[in-house]
Amino acid sequence: MVSAITKKPLPPPRYAARRRFWGPDAIDDGLLLWFPGPASFTGEDVAELHVHGGRAVYRALADALAAAGGRPAEPGEFTRRAFHNGKLDLTQAEAIADLVAAETEGQRRQALRQLDGALGQLYEGWRARLIAMSARAEAAIDFPEEDLPDGLLAGVATDAAVLAGELRRHLDDGGRGERLREGFHVAILGAPNAGKSSLLNALVGRAAAIVHETAGTTRDIVEAAIDLNGWPVVFSDTAGLRVTADPVEAEGVRRAQERAGQADLKLLIFDGSTQAEPDAATMVFAGPRALLVANKSDLGLVAGSCSISGWVRVSAATGEGLGGLAGQIAAAAAAALDGSAPAPTRLRHRMAVETCIQHLDAMCRASLPELLVEDLRLAARALAAAVGRIDIEDVLDAVFREFCIGK
């Protein structure tokens, strides 16, 4: 197909050759790279054409390739083929989508680690241990008891309990991997007019939220994502927390409270030029994952402001103290998101590991060796699904749907 549009033989493998590309007439002048399978990304024969990216060039080239028997790739098709040809496991395929979507250094590092196979290898290692356990348990079925070493089944049960503990620790990481993909959520909470929207705008550096002098302006939640020292942080500006008769504003307050409950960190902001500490409606959210922020320091803070320790003084108007506040938020994000052990990065991984744990727990309760072997088989199967060793078409469709065309 490629020779048909270059009217020349293929260049040597993996060398860039200059070629003219032909349709009914000359289309463009560019570079051609040839990667014969199986030593290519997909494992199949792959040619890469580098052309001048104009739409007319692309269209004429697509027509010429179609005339030679080709068709455009589906989104994620290259990666899907690489997966089917055993070049990648499913967690690595997902990592490619994550790498393409990565916006911060933290996200990029996590995606690259997963692409290197850290998560898949962890699951494969666990699966290998399960297979070894089931081989031992099967011996208990196949051989008479006097030929078997003492305590064979008890030993399998102990190993299964140890493994279940490792799996639980893997899940019990506060959702680090998923949050690194999706962002560390910071809710900005406080009374109307405390300066929540101004603070969000100042932190994000653009007018993401409406700032208005009338209290109760921000009725719905405004979100803005930024890269804070490499960590993805999503701020949400919420409706002012106060008791109100207006049903629309009341709904906003309800949403603010709900969001506050889900946030990884809460900024409890108050107007420090008129108050010594936040209102009671805001202080409800005080706790280890909350920072008190006295705003409007440019107007002079009320004496005795914030007797509570661990607070920050800022001025959303002049920018005073914002660098320090951003640093504290980045430190909280780093503490929550940083880690060297591979973490589950998707609900799919988490569910597979949970299923595996359930079968291991069932196994520890099983009395007959036959049942025990079956539980081990199902536990191993859950991990095999996680890395895509067993094809489950709807899982694959869901995974590859996130991809863009050309990957």
Work out which of 150, 213, 393, 394 binds ligand GDP, going by CB under 6 A.
213
Contact 79/87 with Cβ under 8 angstroms?
A: no
Work out which of 296, 349, 350, 359 binds ligand GDP, going by CB under 6 A.
296
Alpha-carbon distance of 134 to 128, in angstroms, equals 10
Q: Which of residues 165-224 bind Zn ion (CB under 5 A)?
A: 196-197, 218
Alpha-carbon distance of 359 to 126, in angstroms, equals 14
103 is in an annotated binding site: no
The least CB distance from residue 31 to Zn ion, in Å, is: 53
Residue 232: closest CA among 345, 372, 145: 345
40 interface partner picked from Zn ion, ligand GDP, none, CB below 5 to 8 A per type: none
194 is in an annotated binding site: yes
Q: Which two tokens stand for residue 345?
A: 């990065």
Shorter beta-carbon distance to Zn ion: residue 192 or 344:
192
The least CB distance from residue 262 to ligand GDP, in Å, is: 20
339 is in an annotated binding site: no
Within a 10 A sphere around the Cβ of 142, how many other Cβ atoms? Answer: 9
The least CB distance from residue 246 to Zn ion, in Å, is: 15
Residue 127: closest CA among 347, 344, 393, 353: 353
Contact 188/270 with Cβ under 8 angstroms?
A: no
Contact 38/370 with Cβ under 8 angstroms?
A: no
Site string for ligand GDP, 314-333 (x = CB under 6 A): -xxx----------------
With residue 382 as reference, give the H or E element that holds it.
Answer: helix 369-387
Alpha-carbon distance of 58 to 317, in angstroms, equals 49
183 is in an annotated binding site: no
Does residue number 194 form part of the binding site for ligand GDP (CB under 6 A)? yes
Map residue 231 onto helix, strand or coil.
strand
Contact 339/109 with Cβ under 8 angstroms?
A: no
Residue with tokens 């880690």: 339
Shorter beta-carbon distance to ligand GDP: residue 154 or 303:
303
Shorter beta-carbon distance to Zn ion: residue 236 or 345:
236
20 is in an annotated binding site: yes
Q: Which of residues 341-360 bind ligand GDP (CB under 6 A)?
A: none
85 is in an annotated binding site: no
298 interface partner picked from ligand GDP, Zn ion, none, CB below 5 to 8 A per type: ligand GDP
Question: Which residues of this chain interact with ligand GDP, rule CB under 6 A?
Answer: 190, 192-198, 211-213, 217-218, 240, 295-296, 298-299, 315-317
Contact residues for Zn ion (CB under 5 A)?
196-197, 218
Q: Which residues make up each annotated binding site?
A: 20, 48, 87, 193-198, 218, 237-240, 407
